[in-house]
Amino acid sequence: MTDKPHACFALPGHHVVALQGRDAMNFAQAQFMSDVKSLADGQWHWSGWLTPKGRVVALFALLRRDAETVWLVVPDADAEALAEGLRRFVFRSKVAISVLDAPVSAAFVEPTHGRLEPDDARGWLGLAGDVVELDMSGEGGPRTLLVGGEPAALDPAAVARWAAADLAHGLPRLPASQADAWTPQQLSLERLRAFSVKKGCYPGQEIVARTHFLGKAKRGLALLEAGATAAVGSDVLAGGAAIGTVVSAAGSRALAVLPLERDATPLSVDGMAVDERPLLGGLER
C-alpha cells in the first residue's frame, strides 16, 4: 500500500460513486450540470446533479479516470440513494453505477503527486499506487483529499476543521434537509465553476440557463461567523425580519443564502449575533 500524507484522517461522510462503461462519459454529460466532456483523462472538477426544476440534489467532485470511468466523490449525500437515482436514467446506455468500497481521507498538506496547472481551469489527479489525490488547496492553505489505500484514523476535530475550510471557500456542505432546495446560482456555484450554461441539455438546465442569461439571480451565499454552531435551516434575521436561510454549518462558521442586494443591518441567527466574512477563493476547478 502507498503511504498517505502525514496527519491523514478519515472523512466518514464522503463516498465514491463510480460510473463504468463505454457510455459513462455520455451519461455523465447528459445528467450532470458541468461540462464533463471538457475533462481529459486524469482531470477533475466540481459538478452536481439537479432536479428538473434546477435544484441541487448533490454536489460533488467529478473525476475522469479514463474514457470509460467516472468517479463522483460525494460528501454528505446518501451515496447509495444517489446511485439508485441515477440508475433510473440508464435505460439502454452501457454504463454500470455502483458505490465503491474505497476509503476517503484527507490531510492539511500539499498533495504529493496531485497538481494544479496554472493555466488550466481543471484540477489534475495525483496517482500514487492505489491512492488518488485531489488538490483541495485554496486561499486558506494546502489541503489534500485522498481516495483509496488503507483506511485512516478518525479525528473528529480534523473532520470539523476540514468542513469549516470547505465553508470558508464557499463549498456548501448540504445535509439531507437542504437537498432539492437551492439552485446553483443561489449557492453561488459559479465561484467553483461547477455548472455550465453552454453545454447541451441536462436536468434543470433550462432553469439554470434562464437565470444566467436573464440576470435573475437575486440570492447567493454569504459566509457567517458566530459564537456557536448555527442550526442548519435556521432563519437569518436582519432587524428582526427573516431574510435568508442557513444551509451549511461547521463550528463557528455557516453558509447562508441571502439577498445579493441588502443593507448593512446587523444579522442574527438563533438569537446569536453573526458577522459576515468574505469568502476565500482558489477552490474553483
Q: Could you tell me if residue 162 is left (phi over 0), alpha (psi between -120 and 50 degrees) or otherwise beta? A: alpha
Q: Is domain 9-168 annotated with CATH 3.30.70.1400?
A: yes
pLDDT score recorded for residue 118: 45
pLDDT score recorded for residue 259: 97
Give the integer Cα–Cα distance in Å for 56 and 182: 6
Give the integer Cα–Cα distance in Å for 136 and 39: 17
pLDDT score recorded for residue 180: 95
pLDDT score recorded for residue 123: 84
Fold identical between 9-168 and 176-277?
A: no
pLDDT score recorded for residue 122: 67
pLDDT score recorded for residue 215: 77
Nearest C-alpha neighbor of 59 from the set 177, 168, 187, 158: 187
- How many Å separate Cα 110 from the centre of its chain? 20
Q: Taking the model in full, what pTM does it have?
A: 0.93
SS3 (DSSP) at 277: strand
Where are the domains positioned within the chain? 9-168, 176-277
Nearest C-alpha neighbor of 105 from the set 212, 11, 211: 11
pLDDT score recorded for residue 114: 53
Q: May I ask the CATH architecture of the domain 176-277?
A: Beta Barrel (2.40)
Segments of the chain with pLDDT less than 50: 1-3, 116, 118-119
3-state helix, strand, coil in the chain (%, to 5): 20, 35, 50
Backbone angles phi, psi at 216, to 5 degrees: -100, 10
